[in-house]
Structure 1
Amino acid sequence: MIRVWEVSDVTGAARARIAVARLAAAYGVAPLERTRLTASLGARLRRCLAKGGTWRLTLETGTGTGTGSGTETGTGTETGEETGTGAAAGGDGDVLRAVLTPSPRASAAGEPPWRMSVPRSGSAPGADAAGEAVADDPAVPAEALLGADEDTALVLDRLGEQEALVVFHREELHQTNQGVVALHAELDAAGRAQREAFAAERAARTEAEHARRRLTFLADASAVLTASLDHHEIVRRLPDLLVPEYAAHVDVWLFDQDSDPRGVPAHPAAAVRAARTGRPQYAAAQPGGLPGVDDQPPSALDPGRPLLCIPLPTRRAPLGVLTLSPPGERWDPDDAVMLVELTRRASIAIDHAQRYEHNRDIAETLQRALLTELPATPGLALAARYLPATHGLNIGGDWYDAFRQPDGGVIVVVGDVTGHGLRAAVMMSQLRTALRAYAVDGGSPGRLLTRLHTFLHHLQPDLFATAVIARFHPEEPTLTWAGAGHPPPVLRDADGRVRVLDAKPGAMLGIPLHQEIADHTVRLAPGATLALYTDGLVERRAQGIDPGIERLAQVLGSFDPRELATDLEGSAEGILRPLLRDSERDDDVCLLLCHHTGPA
């Protein structure tokens, strides 16, 4: 089917438009597409009438080859581009194609033809005659107008639906945007909370590390301070511990040092106040804000430097004041708390060291008072050495003694009461006195040890002792000796030969056992030297006692006979040096040398 109209005026254009609308309806064009076709054709016809001339409108059915939806005007000649919609755009199915060819004058001016295709679903009966009566029927324009209004209403309904859909989607998009905004706000808040949590965790970890470092330093410093029993050494170690990490300068003021005749040094006012109040003082231009510390004006001795003055407390009164200057501008409050605690521990260590030194001095005085001055005996030279243990109080149960008996004999003895301290020293003094009392009645070394055994067993059942006694007599060329649980004597003969007098000794004194301790006799020539000693000289924990006795015998045998005869005191020192070299002694050491010079 092909229909052609010549359009040159408004009436012809209206009739052509009505005819196209009727034919589009007859050929099954959908109302929306039909409205799009007639509206586009009407707009195009108005433009054509404005340009003048006669325009040809052709309407035909056929297979569509359109290129898209809507209306598009070509830019070429009569064979210009075609506009299609719906199914025609896909190239399949039937279409209704409208072509508006310009007048020759418009064509000469370069006006291209206009084309438009719309899909159709089929033909209604009498479709070919649908446009025949347009020119003769006066009701056709009215019917066309109403039909156009109906199509327009349908389009408006579709447009309303689309607008409602747009409004719905706009509201949905708005809600989505609100949700996205809220989600972003929640994510931002969660991120901020997470960052704050991470920052708090880092701060807590850093603070825990600092606290661990302070506690480790406090424990290590406390171990260093309590390792010594010399308060001067403790005072010397304090600056080494604190400088430079916790202090730039450290001064220790001990009150007992003010008795120094060289003069009393000046101390900051804050240190004096700390000594009087027993509270830590901080002297600076600005308050320190340190916990448990009082703020004071800057020191007149050093106004440009903050000072922290901490008393050295004891249960009675402060021992002194520790004055520190900060390593930087000021102290961290936690560092100040740690410094106060360290000062308290240092004060306890200094107090214990001073108490120990005081008690040690008393003990040494008592020990020296209990030791006998060796008698000057014709035919016999004596030399003794006593060294207290390097640990603990320098007082114990080791003793030596030498005295004459009424018959002219000389008794020499070295003994060792078990244990240390005042109790052992008192028991040693009682044994020494008892031995002298028993020796007045005479008696051999074995008899004297037997009586001491009985005496100790009844006097102190839980205390024991060892001893060795030797008897020299100027008129007898023999040495008589006896031992009770004690290391054996070592004898150097006049010819330089050394032997250990290890004949069977008696058991330890004081044990719950009845015993009669036997005497032993050995010939003695002028020039012989006897060494009596306690186990502290020869016994070492890692080696036992026998190697020590062998070393003693070697050292004693190495002396020149003239040295023993002329300088027995020096010989005693010569024995101690190699045996005690680089040794920290846990036990007292006692050595008694007896050199037989011959008849008086």
Structure 2
Amino acid sequence: MKRVLHIASPTDAALARVTTARLAAAHGVPALERTRLATELSAQLRECLTKGGSWRLTLETDGTEERALHAVVVPSDPERSAVRASWRTTVTSTEAAVAADGADGPTGLAEALLGADEDTALVLEKLRQQEELTEFHREELHQTNQGVLALHAELDAAGRAQREAFAAERHAREEAESARRRLRFLADASAVLTSSLNLDAIVRRLPGLLVPEYARTVDVWLSDGEDRRPSEAPTPAAAIAARTGRPQYSGATPGGLPGVVDQPPSGSGHGRPLLCIPLPTPRAPLGVLTLTPPGDRWDPDDAVMLIELARRASTAIDHARRYEVNRDIAETLQRALMTDLPTTPGLRIAARYLPATHGLNVGGDWYDAFRQPDGSLIAVIGDVTGHGLRAAVMMGQLRTALRAYAVDGGSPGQLLTRLHTFLHHLQPDLYATAVIARFRPGDPELTWAAAGHPPPVLRTPDGRVHTLAAKPGAMLGIPLKQDIGDHTVRMPPGSTLALYTDGLVERRAQGIDPGIARLGDVLGGLDADRLATDLDGCAEGLLHPLLSDSERDDDVCLLLCHIAADGD
């Protein structure tokens, strides 16, 4: 079907619009598309009337299943179609066709206008529905946006909380690492300070431990004794610390350190703050540790650590001072008890005593040689368990008791038995070892006895060495009744007997037997003529190869007894 309409006036344009709408309705075009087609056609026809001239509207339908309606507006004059624009559109039917009202004239135009209003109302209803749908989606989008914003706020709060938790964890980890570092420093510093009993060495080590990490400068002020007055301290803050026993901080501004009292500037320290920490003891401070900060001020935790270090340093210094006092007393007592050796025709004696170099270097090692009333000579060497003043005093008591018992005579075994009873009743918690050898003038037979002591070593004139390993008695002083027996051995002229304590031959990693073997080797290697002429030099020569270690944990006693050969 094809219809052609000529348009030259507004009436023609209105009829063309009505005809197009009717034809579209008859063709089954939906109302919304009809309205859109009519609106576009009206706009195009209005433009054509504005331009003037005559125009031709062609409406044509095809017979395909899609039932397309084609609308074309072109100028009526073919010659002017090249300069005037044409308009073309196509709509497709999707609904069933309806009967077209073919009435023309005013009545048909009115009905067409009413039908157009119906289409317009339908379009407006569609528009209303779309607006409602749009409003619904807008509200839904708003709610979604609100949810997204709330989620973002929650995520942001969770992120802040996580960052704060991470920061707190990092801070706690740093604090724990700092605490471990300070504890490790305290442990290492304590080991360094307590590894020596030398007062000067301890004082010298303190600055090396603290500079430069915890202090710029370190000064140690030690009092000469408990009667030293605090006013003699280097600074007023140090004097107050020594007098009160409380740490003092002296600076232009308060230090705010825990457990530390703030004081005005002291006028020393080159304008830097001073931290004066007393070195405490149960009786009175030993002195004051004065420090300047490594930077502008101290960290409060570092100050607490420094106070604890000062306490440990004070303990080490106090132990060193006590050690020096006990050592001096014990060493004086021990040296006083080491009397001169007697001289006897046909018998020469040489002795050596070396205190321990590690720890408290005064012990209970002792030697003695004296004559009995019958002319016999007693040589004894012994060792009281332990070190220090108590061991030295006990050693002196044993030495005196032995001399007293020997006045009544008695063999070496009998003398050791009486010493055993004496020590057990006098000091039940102290023990001792000893070996006694008795020489009779003109008698080549040696009588000896031992109580828990390393065996004597005998060198015969032919250079051979024998360890006198006969069964000894038990240690002196143990809670056991015992009768210590005597042993005899032939000792021809030119022989040398070595009595010694375990400090000469015993090493922790090797035991005592290898040391006794080394002693025998060195003794057997000595020159016989030198033994006869320079026994003291031979005793010195025995010590050097056996004591190669720079430090000794125990005292060393050596007693050499040489029987002169004929013609010596």
**Distance in 2 separating the partners of 1:544 and 1:490:** 17
For 2:186, the equivalent position in structure 1 comes to 218
Correspondent of 2:203 among 224, 228, 235: 235
Equivalents in 2 of 1:32, 1:457: separation in Å? 130
1:591 and 1:357 map into 2 onto residues whose CA distance is: 26
Whole-Å Cα distance in 1 between the matches of residues 487 and 90 of structure 2? 150
Give the aligned partner of residue 104 of structure 1.
Answer: 77
One-letter identity of the residue aligned with 2:501 = T
Q: Is the 8 A contact 2:366 2:557 kept in 1?
A: yes
Q: Secondary structure, in 3 states, of the residue corresponding to 1:256?
A: coil
Paired amino acid for 1:192: R
* Partners of 1:534 and 1:4 in 2: CA distance: 146
Match for residue 465 of structure 2? 499
For residue 480 of structure 1, report the CA deviation from its aligned partner. 2.5
Counterpart check, 1:481 vs 2:447:
yes
Offset, 1:312: 0.8
Alignment partners' CA distance in 1, 2:216 and 2:529: 61
Q: Which residue of 2 aligns with 1:270?
A: 237
Is 1:350 equivalent to 2:317 in the alignment?
yes
Deviation at 1:266, TM superposition (A): 7.5
1-structure distance, mates of 2:227, 2:526: 49
Q: Deviation at 1:340?
A: 1.2
One-letter identity of the residue aligned with 1:99: V
Unaligned runs of 5+ in 1: 65-91
- Shift of residue 419, structure 1, vs aligned partner: 4.7
Deviation at 1:378, TM superposition (A): 4.1
> Is 1:297 the counterpart of 2:297 in the alignment?
no
CA positional deviation for 1:468? 2.6
Report deviation, 1:322.
1.1
Residue 104 of structure 2 corresponds to 134
CA RMSD of aligned residues (A): 3.2
Q: Residues 41-89 of structure 1: CA distance to partner in whole angstroms, max 9, x if unpaired?
A: 222222222333222222222157xxxxxxxxxxxxxxxxxxxxxxxxx
Query: CA 1:298–1:36 in structure 2 vs 1: closer, same or farther (change >3 Å)?
Result: same
1:190 corresponds in structure 2 to 158
Deviation string 1:273-321 (CA, Å, 9 cap, x unpaired) is 2222222222333332222222333442333333222111111111111
* Displacement after TM superposition at 1:254 (Å): 1.1
Is 1:148 aligned with 2:121? no
Contact 1:363 1:394 in 2 (8 A): no
The answer to whether residue 271 in structure 2 is matched with residue 325 in structure 1 is no
Take 1:473 and 1:253, find their aligned partners in 2: how far apart are those partners?
61
Spell out, residue by residue over 1:186-208, the C-alpha distance to the aligned partner (whole angstroms, 9 max, x if none).
22222222222222222222222
TM-score scaled by structure 2?
0.88
Q: Given residue 521 of structure 2, which amino acid in structure 1 is its aligned partner? A: Q
Q: Are the equivalent residues in 2 in contact too, given 1:444–1:519 (CA < 8 A)?
A: no
Match of 2:439 in 1: 472
Structure 2 distance, partners of 1:456, 1:500, is 31
- Whether the aligned pair in 2 keeps the contact of 1:385 and 1:592 (CA below 8 Å) is yes
Structure 1 residues 141 and 538: alpha-carbon distance in aligned structure 2, compared to 1, 3 A threshold: closer
Cα pair distance change 1:167/1:331, threshold 3 Å: same
| Contact 1:51-1:106 within 8 A present in 2 as well | no
Whether contact under 8 Å (1:445, 1:480) holds in the other structure is no
Deviations 1:190-239 (A, max 9, x none): 22222222222222222221111111111111122122222222112112
SS at match of 2:255: coil
Mapping of residues 200-219 of structure 1, within 5 Å: 200-219=168-187
1:23-42 aligned at under 5 Å gives the runs 23-42=23-42
Partner-residue secondary structure (3-state), 1:232: helix
List per-residue Cα deviations over 1:27-52 (Å, max 9, x = no partner): 33322222222222222222222333
Q: 1:587 to 1:157 in 2, by over 3 A?
A: same
1:9 partner letter: S
Q: Write the distance in 1 (CA, Å) between the matches of 2:334 and 2:267.
A: 51
- What are the within-5 Å matches in structure 2 for residues 23-102 of structure 1? 23-63=23-63, 93-102=66-75
- In 2, the alpha carbon distance for the partners of 1:42 and 1:250 equals 105
Once residues 473 and 51 of structure 2 are traced to their aligned partners in structure 1, the CA distance between those partners, rounded to angstroms, is 153
The reply to whether residue 247 of structure 1 matches residue 215 of structure 2 is: yes
CA shift, 1:560, in A, is 4.1
Aligned to 1:166: 134
Aligned to 2:307: 340
Cα gap change, 1:98/1:571 in structure 2, threshold over 3 Å: closer, same or farther? same
CA contact (8 A) 2:412 2:448 kept: yes
Post-superposition shift, 1:582? Answer: 0.8
- Which amino acid in structure 2 is aligned with residue 169 of structure 1? H
Cα displacement string for residues 243-272 of structure 1 (whole angstroms, at most 9, x for unaligned residues): 222222221111129999xxx998233222
Residue 224 of structure 2 corresponds to: 256
Q: Which amino acid aligns with 2:507?
A: R
> Given the alignment of the two structures, is residue 114 of structure 1 paired with residue 87 of structure 2, yes or no?
yes
Q: Distance in 2 between matches of 1:265 and 1:561?
A: 64
- Give distance in 1, aligned partners of 2:216 and 2:464: 63
For 2:482 and 2:17, locate their aligned partners in 1 and report how far apart those are by CA, in whole Å. Answer: 155
Identify if the C-alpha distance between structure 1 residues 467 and 103 changes in structure 2 by more than 3 Å, giving closer, same or farther: same
Query: Residues 298-447 of structure 1 correspond to what in structure 2 (within 5 A)?
Result: 298-420=265-387, 424-447=391-414
Change (3 A) 1:293 1:417: closer
Deviating more after overlay: 393-402 vs 180-189: 393-402
Between the two proteins, the alignment pairs up a number of residues equal to 561
Of residues 156-165 and 414-423 in structure 1, the stretch that sits farther from structure 2 once superposed is 414-423
User: In structure 2, the residue corresponding to 1:49 is in which secondary structure?
Assistant: helix
Q: What is the identity percentage for the equivalent residue pairs of Structure 1 and Structure 2?
A: 69
The answer to which of 313-322 and 183-192 deviates more is 183-192
Aligned to 1:3: 3
1:403-448 deviation per Cα after TM superposition (whole angstroms, max 9, x unaligned): 2222333222223344555555455444433432333233443444
Would the aligned equivalents of 1:483 and 1:505 in 2 still touch at CA under 8 Å? no
CA distance in 1, matches of 2:434, 2:37: 141
User: What TM-score do you get using the length of structure 1 for normalisation?
Assistant: 0.84
Amino acid at match of 1:522: R
Of 538-547 and 344-353, the range deviating more from structure 2:
538-547
